[in-house]
Amino acid sequence: MLPYNSHTEKINLIENGSISLVENVKFFLEEIDKRKNLNCFLDVYSENALSDAKIIEAKIKSKSAGKLAGMAVAVKDVFSIKGKRMTCGSKILKSFVPLYTATAIQKLIDEDAIIIGKTNLDEFAMGSSNENSAFGSVKNPINEEFVPGGSSGGSAAAVAANLCDASIGTDTGGSVRQPAAFCGLYGLKPTYGRISRFGLTAFASSFDTVGIFAKNIEDTKLLLDTMSGKDEKDSTSVDFSEAEKKSEMKSSLKIGVLSVIINHAISPEIKQKYLETIDNLKKFGHEIVYIDLPNSKYSIATYYILTTAEASSNLARFDGARYGERSTVSASLQEMYINSRTEGFGKEVKRRIMLGTYVLSSGYYDAYYRKAQKVRRIIKNDFDKCFKKADTILIPTTPTPPFRLGEKVDDPLSMYLSDVYTTTANLAGIPGLNIPVGNNSEGLPVGVQLLADQFNERILMKIARDLNSISRIFG
């Protein structure tokens, strides 16, 4: 076990000589090797991590290190790092090496974080179980017969298995919050635009958000603060500081809870944990107000129409002509395009490309895509109304606990419904935080989710701390 609970504790222990950063990194590398069966990592940067640890340890002791000094961070393999392979979990990019580093990852490096490796994921971040990777499924370290969630399952499993201090994922429709719930972690999806997407391979550009996995809220906030900010290379990134200043912080907050549970198929144990969390927040002095999200029942349909449409456009660039794997059995240029994509893309990616092309096609654009855009605005308006009554909203993160490997592979509709509680935040562009609230009767993690208005992440952090205090007081 690690002798520290947060990055601040780790720095203090290194400064007073209680632990060695080099030995700490060696510990992680040894654990990664021991737990290869989890299939968390696609690439491990052993030599770089150890050489960085030596340099950063000296900087810590000389008081010249960055604020993330020595934090071992794993990165979902959908971010570019100069000179390091980036596969996006797909055969079509299995040998691709980027020429630049993603802005969010560069900010971590600039503050002396140690990038320990790249983690496995659903191909092009399309999935809810991490069973769609071209490089095999990831297993949940809590119970290896179960999925870790997706698409950022490798990043979640790596933190839950003590293979790193924290990790970076992406959240397009719940791909950080859902695996965080399945692995018993804090999982933050920030406000859309708060963290630059430059260097992040796009699945659905108006939904994709850089997210964070950590074991505590302090490390989550530290990583958020480090990566946030305007980036000239990403026109959708924003300077969040002015927007954040306008948000009022009070000791007692109004917390919106659902007057009616959205999905009647919710697991009874998850519903019970949700109700217990509401009671705990009352104990801390927060006011509970009942809210409705009447159009959330359309969120799954709206989300998959819009994201598949964007995916069909974004993935058109992977044709074997400019980069990535190219088919060698083609008699013409058109055949080369077709064969490269047929051989390179997996089943789920092909399904979403075809769905997206269909909803954008002549005769169906107005019936599906345009209508879905209108519903997206209506869902955002629902949240705007709720945030006039409540400072934050508490809902379940997932309708069920982790499911078994292979259980939903042949039932895509059932798999898509895993995201019933998470997609609304991406449709509205608001922040969401999974908070672990214990285990079910099988010992599998359960999470609840807090949502806030845009750029109000600090409210999420405050309530997460309150819940952590309650668990210490009341057990």
* Residues catalogued as catalytic: 76, 151, 175
Spatial separation of the C-alpha atoms in residues 33 and 19, rounded to whole Å: 21
Q: Extract the runs of DSSP E, i.e. beta strands, from 317-454.
A: 392-396, 432-439, 445-452
The β-bridge relationship of strands 445-452 and 432-439 is antiparallel
425 backbone dihedrals φ, ψ, rounded to 5°: -65, -35
Class of residue 271 by CB neighbours under 10 A (exposed 0-12, middle 13-18, buried 19+): middle
* Rounded Cα distance, 395 and 465, in Å: 17
Strand order in the sheet with 254-258: 41-44, 114-119, 72-76, 166-171, 209-214, 186-189, 432-439, 445-452, 392-396, 254-258, 287-291
SS3 of 88-151:
CCCHHHCCCCCCCCCHHHHHHHHCCCEEEEEECCCHHHCCCCCCCCCCCCCCCCCCCCECCCCC
- Torsion-angle region of 397 (φ positive above 0: left; ψ -120 to 50: alpha; else: beta): alpha
DSSP letter assigned to residue 286: P
Element containing residue 50 per DSSP (H, E): helix 46-61
Backbone torsions φ then ψ of 169, nearest 5 degrees: -130, -165
Beta strands in 181-313 (DSSP E): 186-189, 209-214, 254-258, 287-291
Q: Any residues with CB less than 8 A from the CB of 251 and at least 6 apart, and which?
A: 285
Q: How far apart are CA 122 and CA 134, in angstroms?
A: 8
Within 10 Å of residue 267's Cβ, how many Cβ atoms?
A: 16
